Chains A and B, each alone.
Chain A
Amino acid sequence: MKYSLKTFGITRDILGGKEVIFEMDGEKVGELKLELMARFPEMKSLNSLLVAVNNAYAKDDMVIKEKDEIALIPPVSGG
């Protein structure tokens, strides 16, 4: 599956782009996180990594589809 990932904050620096095409066999949010950490070991150094699917925080067992809006959410720091 080929997913389009929106990146923010430090994840943009690590992946090197605002919107990154990411191909992998898995189709769950948890698999995406593990695959990201495997391919970009720097991701493991973050305090947390959440994934948002279609504008809402997603759990690890959520199944993602290619047309979903998927975003990487590193630790937030607004305010």
Chain B
Amino acid sequence: MIKITEKAIDVQKVIETASSLSAGAVNVFIGTVRNNAQGKNVVWLEYEAYEAMAVAEIRKVIDEAANKWNLLGWAVSHRIGTLKPGEVAVVVVVSTPHRKESFEACQYIIDNVKAKAPIWKKEVFEDGEEWVDARPNIATPTN
């Protein structure tokens, strides 16, 4: 399942979608909104996605992961819209026969989704706002 949604992500549901009775490991990555960046307080984040392409790019990442590891189940859910600190921005779940490959596959998927999926976030501070990573000469993005 690949989902881009404006609604709060139900982590348990994403896990269920990716579960498999033949799996011995279910690995879950939850990306959350931090309350600080560049030494400043983050009031909220604005996420946007080029949805059709984001789904297509995430699909490619999953296909690559499925070629490297034995994925018995998987799911990626990414939130868009306005998110406050503490809220869940992204969830990646993979099920595999054993734990080692579940960690590797989960990390591969989140790393590549972050690098390739056309999704953007803007940090809104008390005194301004900034598209994350858009320009050099600003503190390295965190995420």
Which residues of A approach B to under 8 Å, CB–CB? 6, 8-10, 13, 45-47, 52, 55-56, 71, 73-79
Contact = CB atoms under 8 A, between A and B. Distances in A.
A77 B121 contact: yes
A7 to B, nearest CB: 10
Contacts of B131: 9-10, 13, 74, 77
A52 B143 CA distance: 24
Interface in B85-143: 89-90, 110, 113-122, 131-136, 141, 143
* Chain B binding surface, main DSSP class: mixed
Contacts of B132: 77
A75 B121 CA distance: 10
Given A46-B134, A74-B131, A79 B90 contact: yes
Nearest to B134: A10
A76 B136 contact: no
A78 B56 contact: no
Interface stretch (B7-15, B17-25, B43-51): B43-51
B56 A76 contact: no
Nearest to A14: B134
A79 B113 contact: yes
A13 B118 CA distance: 16
Contacts of B31: 79
B89 A77 contact: no
A73 B120 CA distance: 9
B53 interface: yes
A7 B132 CA distance: 16
